[in-house]
Structure 1
Amino acid sequence: MIHVKQVSKTYTRNQTSISALKPVDLHIRSGEIFGIIGHSGAGKSTLIRCLNCLERPTTGTVTVNGVDLTALHGKKLQAQRQQIGMIFQHFHLLSSATVFDNIAFPLRLAKADRKHIRERVEELAELVGLQHVLNQYPSQLSGGQKQRVGIARALAMKPHVLLCDEATSALDPETTRAILQLLSRINRELGITIVLITHEMQVIRDICDRVAVMDAGEIVEQGDVIDVFLHPAHRVTRQFVSQVQDDTHVRSYVESDAAKTILSISFKGDQTYEPVLFETVRDTGYSFSILQGTISKMKDLPYGQLLIELHGEQIDHEQVADQLRARGLEVEVMEWRS
């Protein structure tokens, strides 16, 4: 669907070159929700704007649906952009236009006839839940309603791709959940590929299939969300994962002077609800205490994470770990001091 090859972006200001985006490679599959996460200044907004050539890359190519956008200019580029919708953090609505006219704006630019415009606007208003406010103005709407207008407008031309630039950052938590649920439904029902940038790991965990982590203009880690979440390799990724995991008390306990046998265990799918841990520890004769535990879902996939301390004399922690691994769990010995 979207192939990014060695794309970089350099700005020149006062005869000084500023590298906002170093050469990156990225492949986004058709029909998935792909997240891009990074701190402010990491280059994620520059990257997403390169995907529709609102920012023309300094080097590299961006291919969408088999078309190299970086080779296009003028009307040909504008025609391809109609297949790529975009929503923004601060909505970018026309303040003097009604909800109806805001949604209709791209259709009128494309010179669609009145009947088609009305039918399409009403269809989209129903999809995003705004059919009762079509005659109101943006100043009369809540933040969540404004973003729904932005989503409907971005979908007006029936795009194949929807780019979301910090689409929930200006919203409260409850409204954020509602907007994420709407985006997930749009992806599921319409089959639209969604690229979503954020600085919140909770957003990535809630709706994304895969994720790329950015730092200092580079992609430092990428993969399936559940794999990146359960096994973050890069320092920045671990920082983001810690947003949704408060392990301060566990770290304090583990780092105390007493000798401990701590195992970090992660599992996903059907294993989440099976008594694998109990059976393994029972068979090896050790008792254990749970220091921290999470059982949740990432999109529709259940997963779990546990930190346990084994108790007993002359504990063979590798024996326990190996038995758990043999049963399909992922295990890491976190702390072992004698």
Structure 2
Amino acid sequence: MIELQHIVKDYQSGNHKVTALNDINLSVNKGEVFGIIGHSGAGKSTLIRTINLLERPSSGRVFIDGVNMTELASRKLQEERRTIGMIFQHFNLLSSATVADNIAFPLRLAKRSKETVERRVAELIGLVGLDGHENKYPAQLSGGQKQRVGIARALATNPKVLLCDEATSALDPQTTNAILALLLRINRELNITIVLITHEMQVIRSICDRVAVIDGGKIVETGPVSQVFLKPQHPTTREFVEQVSGAVDKGLPLMEEAGEPQTLIRITFIGEQTYEPALYETMRDTNVPFVILQGTVSRLKNTPYGQLVLELHGAQRDTEQAIERLRSRGLDVEVIRHGSDRA
């Protein structure tokens, strides 16, 4: 659906060249919600704006539905952009236009008939939950309502792709959840491919199917959200995961009983494993005492998951047997530290 091939974006700053994007290669499947996460200045806004060529790459190619966007002449590019909607962090609404007129704006630019415009505006107002607000102006709306107008406007020309540039970062948590739920419903009901950028892992966890982590203009990690979230590889990814899961204090002192070193482990459950009594049954059968130091049970989009950090007590041979028993049940078990590993 979307293919970015060796994208480089350079800027000139005085006598110096600044590389904002460095050899970016990404593919986004039709109908999925794809997230791009990074810190401020990492290049994520530049990256998402290269998809519709609001930022033209210095080199590389952008394909959407098999069309090489980077080779299109100006008029043809303008036509193709109508298949790509975009919503913005600060809404970018016309302050002197009503809700209805803001939504109608791209349709009028496309020279659609009055009847088509009125029908489509009415459809979209219902879709985004703005019934009764048609004749209000942006100054009369809440932040969440303004973003709903922005979403409706982005959908006006029936796009195949919806780009979201920090669409929820200016909103409070409750409103953010409502907007994310709306985007997920749009994705499911209209089968629109969504690419969103954010600096919040909670946004990625809530609605994305896959994610790419960008740092210093490079993609440093990518994959299904469950894989990246539960087993982060890059330090930047681990920072974002800790936003929502919390860091494990590896310096936490371990107790010792009868001079036997103890073991700190992290167990990851995913899918139906989350609801199975694997931990209880394993520790009962192996007779290994344990203490839960940290625990989470939540969801990654539609997938339940859980993570527990445990301190296992007893002889090392017994704790190793318990760990192997847990792994034999299909659980991911990471040994964080043995008592004998202390500095």
Taking structure 2 as the reference length, the TM-score comes to: 0.95
Q: SS where residue 125 of structure 2 aligns? A: helix
Whether the 8 Å CA contact 1:296–1:303 is kept in 2: the answer is yes
1:222 Cα offset (Å): 0.6
Quote the Cα distance in structure 1 between the aligned partners of 2:297 and 2:173.
21
Quote the Cα distance in structure 2 between the aligned partners of 1:10 and 1:107.
34
Whether the 8 Å CA contact 2:4–2:63 is kept in 1: the answer is yes
| Equivalent AA in structure 1 for residue 333 of structure 2 | V
**2:82 aligned with 1:82, yes or no?**
yes
| Equivalent AA in structure 1 for residue 110 of structure 2 | A
Q: SS where residue 253 of structure 1 aligns? A: coil
**Residue 252 of structure 2 aligns with which residue?**
253
From 324, 327, 333, give the equivalent of 1:322.
324
Give CA deviations for 1:133-181 in whole Å, capped at 9, x if unaligned. Answer: 1101111111100000000000000000000000001101111011000
Quote the Cα distance in structure 2 between the aligned partners of 1:289 and 1:278.
12
1:104 Cα offset (Å): 0.2
Spell out structure 1 runs of 4+ moving beyond 6 A: 255-258
Q: SS where residue 30 of structure 2 aligns? A: coil
**Residue 22 of structure 2 aligns with which residue?**
22
Quote the Cα distance in structure 1 between the aligned partners of 2:337 and 2:291.
15
Q: SS where residue 47 of structure 2 aligns? A: helix
**Residue 149 of structure 1 aligns with which residue?**
149
Whether the 8 Å CA contact 2:254–2:311 is kept in 1: the answer is no
**Residue 69 of structure 1 aligns with which residue?**
69
Quote the Cα distance in structure 1 between the aligned partners of 2:318 and 2:72.
63
Q: SS where residue 183 of structure 1 aligns? A: helix
| Equivalent AA in structure 2 for residue 253 of structure 1 | L
Whether the 8 Å CA contact 1:254–1:260 is kept in 2: the answer is no
Matches within 5 A, 1:1-338: 1-247=1-247, 250-254=249-253, 259-338=261-340
Quote the Cα distance in structure 2 between the aligned partners of 1:107 and 1:144.
23
1:257 Cα offset (Å): 9.2
Give CA deviations for 1:194-219 in whole Å, capped at 9, x if unaligned. Answer: 00100001111111111000100000
Q: SS where residue 227 of structure 2 aligns? A: helix
Whether the 8 Å CA contact 2:288–2:318 is kept in 1: the answer is no
Give CA deviations for 1:101-143 in whole Å, capped at 9, x if unaligned. Answer: 0000000000000000000000000000112111011111111
1:319 Cα offset (Å): 2.1
Q: SS where residue 76 of structure 2 aligns? A: helix
Quote the Cα distance in structure 2 between the aligned partners of 1:246 and 1:257.
25
1:318 Cα offset (Å): 2.8
Q: SS where residue 87 of structure 1 aligns? A: strand
Taking structure 1 as the reference length, the TM-score comes to: 0.97
Quote the Cα distance in structure 2 between the aligned partners of 1:316 and 1:145.
58
Quote the Cα distance in structure 1 between the aligned partners of 2:256 and 2:54.
56
Identity among equivalent positions (%) equals: 61
Question: CA separation of 1:314/1:204 partners in 2, compared to 1, >3 Å: closer, same or farther?
Answer: closer
Quote the Cα distance in structure 2 between the aligned partners of 1:15 and 1:62.
29
Quote the Cα distance in structure 2 between the aligned partners of 1:223 and 1:174.
28
1:263 Cα offset (Å): 1.1
Quote the Cα distance in structure 1 between the aligned partners of 2:42 and 2:253.
33
Q: Cα RMSD between the aligned structures?
A: 1.4
Quote the Cα distance in structure 1 between the aligned partners of 2:43 and 2:64.
20
Quote the Cα distance in structure 2 between the aligned partners of 1:254 and 1:134.
61
Q: How many residues align?
A: 337
Quote the Cα distance in structure 2 between the aligned partners of 1:182 and 1:274.
32
Question: CA separation of 1:59/1:256 partners in 2, compared to 1, >3 Å: closer, same or farther?
Answer: farther
Question: CA separation of 1:315/1:166 partners in 2, compared to 1, >3 Å: closer, same or farther?
Answer: same
Whether the 8 Å CA contact 1:2–1:29 is kept in 2: the answer is yes
1:287 Cα offset (Å): 1.6
